[in-house]
Amino acid sequence: MRRGFFICMIFWLFMSSAPFVSGEISSTVHNLSVSGPGTFIDPQVKDLCVFCHTPHRSANPLALWNRELPPKSYNLYTSSTLEATLNQPTGTSRLCLSCHDGTTALGNLRVPPRNGDSKLGPLTGRAALGTDLSDDHPISFVYDATLASRKGQLEDPAQLAHPLPLDKSGQLQCSTCHEPHDNQYRKFLRIDDRAGVLCTTCHKQRDWARSAHATSAATWKGGGTNPWPDSPHASVVDNGCMNCHGTHSVPRPPRLLRDSEEKDVCMVCHNGTVATKNLENEFSKINVHRVDAASWIHEPRENPNSMPSHVACVDCHNPHQSAANPASPPFVPGALRGVRGLNISGGIMERSSNEYEVCLKCHGVLDQATSGRSVRQDNTRNVRLEINPSNPSYHPIAATGKNTTMGGFETGYTTGSIIYCIDCHNNDEWTPNGTRPRGPHGSLFEPILEREYQVNDPTQETFQAYALCYKCHNRSYILDDRGGFKEHKKHIEGKDSSCAVCHDAHGSRRNSHLINFMLQDRTGKAVVTPSSSGRLEYISLGPGRGQCYLTCHGEDHNPLEYKD
């Protein structure tokens, strides 16, 4: 009996007297005694360990807990990508919440300090998580090899590169990431979180190590909103996962995102205050991808054929894989790496191989023209159908073109060229060596075109009016009738006919030479109508020869034949 009493007394002195405890905890905010450095201290209490531990009458043998365990039911984290089965907090997480849910006074102890009850009230501020844990990293779930293998985005817990302990039941708890007695790393983290190492110990994202968010040394230049207000790190690479995600009390709970507005998760850096190029300005133009029109609709596993209409930054860019690596058409450049798409056949690509597959995820589904657009003889506006290499003709996006005798190209283009969608659909202010970002974020010209392209009829021919066409096709070659069709000048200059009257820029499912007649222009005006015999048809008679049955600009072609 005496020996047992003596052992208990020694333990009590060790647990409750500041001079006998490790210097690590005494200098942290977990020291709530009079010697503590934090905001929450009791000036009447000298005992340090008593606020958490007691050798007698503990609420839980785990850590000999000196606090009543919270009886509360907590609102748990949820997300459409969550694979784990969550439980109400258990183990050490429940112990932590007896202070950190902010509902119970810090001084409410089972065994009071030696000099009487503590008067400390409940924890407040950012450290008080409340009973809504939906905006916090999930806890109290079994983390095992089975969970890790479900989507392949978690490390097998038996193979973790750093010591992040699970509890005896194999559950991930608060204590997996936090060591409450040691604040060597901020917020009592078990390892340094610089460059997202704490996160990537468990989470493995394909190509993350090569991505811009994992490698960029960019820092905040000032102006706008500080993207890292609560971080000691000053660069993108050092903030790592925390550039976009948080772990506790985040503004956007699903996927733990750091802003309540979807576009602002990206724009806080990509408005020119951190990233080199300012994307925010592009979305203020007349013609844009409306990333502000609908928030939080995008789902990582969404089916392009049935998803609600929307566009978000992450529809085109995977922030875990995106990088600045260049590529050659048709292959995806680094900025589009790791993004879902549709192939030419309409099949879903988990990782698009070609740039156009990313675009087709949206533009390869809808089949009808919308209001305010021109109407054509074959009126599909499904780009996937228009650029299909099985068509009689198409712009060379998915494959090289079929007309091997075509000439009159500007330098850099040949009949063997393949082009990107963004060679046409691009920022109107972009230049190869300039500071404006490339891509279809926004443009002065509809529909998000790099250069002007007038499609209404009539249109007076100028270099500017058809600047997009003349980017690749030499203007003099066309107007001097040096190609197979000898009447371009007559139509374009003489009749003020737009290139778009005869040619459908993406492709034609009926005819060679991109011929798909425009029936109405964007203003609703009739342009091409049937001939006097009721026919509306183009007939190819071989290279440099053809017939047209139609009426245009008051002239009846019934038929009109042309030849070299």
**pLDDT-derived band at 8, boundaries 50, 70, 90:** very low
Task: Please work out, in degrees rounded to the nearest 5, the angle formed at the alpha carbon of residue 506 by the alpha carbons of 389 and 326.
Answer: 80
**pLDDT-derived band at 151, boundaries 50, 70, 90:** confident
> CA of 181: how far to CAs of 60, 168, 184, 191, 198, in Å?
18, 20, 9, 13, 18
Structure token pair of residue 489: 């000048």
In a domain, 347, yes or no: no
Read off the pLDDT of each residue in 122-128 and give the average, rounded to a whole number. Answer: 95
Q: What is the total count of domains within the chain? A: 1
What is the rounded distance in angstroms from the CA atom of residue 190 to the CA atom of residue 173? 13
**pLDDT-derived band at 483, boundaries 50, 70, 90:** confident
What is the rounded distance in angstroms from the CA atom of residue 174 to the CA atom of residue 166? 9
In a domain, 397, yes or no: no
Read off the pLDDT of each residue in 175-200 and give the average, rounded to a whole number. Answer: 96
Residue-level pLDDT at 562: 85
Tally of CB atoms within 10 A around 201: 20
**For residue 528, which phi and psi values (nearest 5 degrees)?**
-110, 130
Structure token pair of residue 70: 């919270």
pLDDT tops 90 at residue 367: no
Tally of CB atoms within 10 A around 55: 19
Domain membership of residue 474 as a residue range: 417-564
DSSP H/E element including 479: helix 475-479
What's the mean pLDDT when you consider all of the chain? 92
Would you list the DSSP string of 268-329?
Answer: TTTBTTSSSSB-GGGGGSSEE--TTSS-S---TT--TTTSPS---HHHH--TTT-------T
Residue-level pLDDT at 165: 96
Amino acid at 490: K
pLDDT tops 50 at residue 167: yes
Would you list the DSSP string of 484-499?
Answer: S-TTHHIIIIIS---H
Read off the DSSP letter of residue 150. H
- Is this model's pTM higher than 0.95 or not? no
In a domain, 442, yes or no: yes
526 DSSP β-pair partners: 520
Query: Per this entry, what is the length of the chain?
Result: 564
In a domain, 485, yes or no: yes
The pLDDT tens digits of the residues spanning 529-546 come to 999 999 999 999 888 789
Asked whether the beta carbons of 209 and 196 are under 8 A apart, the reply is no
**For residue 477, which phi and psi values (nearest 5 degrees)?**
-60, -40
Structure token pair of residue 414: 């040949």
**pLDDT-derived band at 556, boundaries 50, 70, 90:** very high
In a domain, 374, yes or no: no
The pLDDT tens digits of the residues spanning 27-86 come to 999 999 999 999 999 999 999 999 999 999 988 888 999 999 887 899 999 999 999 999
HSE at residue 73, side-chain half, CA atoms within 13 A, is 0
**pLDDT-derived band at 484, boundaries 50, 70, 90:** confident
Pairing of strands 287-288, 393-394: unpaired
Would you list the DSSP string of 393-426?
Answer: EE-TTSS--S-TT---BPTT--TT----GGGTSS
Residue-level pLDDT at 17: 35
> CA of 76: how far to CAs of 73, 153, 203, in Å?
9, 21, 20
pLDDT tops 60 at residue 252: yes
> CA of 500: how far to CAs of 51, 194, 376, 447, in Å?
78, 55, 10, 14
- Tokens 């293998």, located at residue: 149
Which residues have CB under 8 Å from 314's CB, separation 6+? 298
Q: What percent of the chain has pLDDT over 90?
A: 86
Q: What percent of the chain has pLDDT over 70?
A: 95
Tally of CB atoms within 10 A around 466: 23
Residue-level pLDDT at 371: 55
Which residues have CB under 8 Å from 370's CB, separation 6+? 381
**pLDDT-derived band at 370, boundaries 50, 70, 90:** low
Instruction: Give Dmax over CA atoms of the chain in angstroms.
Output: 119
Read off the pLDDT of each residue in 432-453 and give the average, rounded to a whole number. Answer: 96
**pLDDT-derived band at 508, boundaries 50, 70, 90:** very high
Higher pLDDT, 135 or 71: 135
In a domain, 268, yes or no: no
Higher pLDDT, 442 or 485: 442
Which residues have CB under 8 Å from 550's CB, separation 6+? 517, 528, 529, 530, 531, 535, 536, 537, 557
In a domain, 113, yes or no: no
Structure token pair of residue 116: 């009487």
Structure token pair of residue 112: 């009071």
pLDDT tops 80 at residue 13: no
Residue-level pLDDT at 43: 94
In a domain, 81, yes or no: no
Asked whether the beta carbons of 94 and 72 are under 8 A apart, the reply is no
**pLDDT-derived band at 373, boundaries 50, 70, 90:** confident
534 φψ region: left (φ > 0), alpha (ψ -120 to 50), beta (else): left
Pairing of strands 348-349, 341-342: antiparallel
Residue-level pLDDT at 372: 65
The pLDDT tens digits of the residues spanning 284-294 come to 999 999 999 98
Read off the pLDDT of each residue in 80-99 and give the average, rounded to a whole number. Answer: 95
Expressed in angstroms, the distance from the first to the final Cα of the chain is: 116
245 DSSP β-pair partners: 257
pLDDT tops 80 at residue 352: yes
Read off the pLDDT of each residue in 193-204 and give the average, rounded to a whole number. Answer: 96
Residue-level pLDDT at 563: 78
What is the rounded distance in angstroms from the CA atom of residue 421 to the CA atom of residue 447? 12
Kindly report which listed range (7-11, 230-234, 415-419) carries the lowest average pLDDT score.
Answer: 7-11
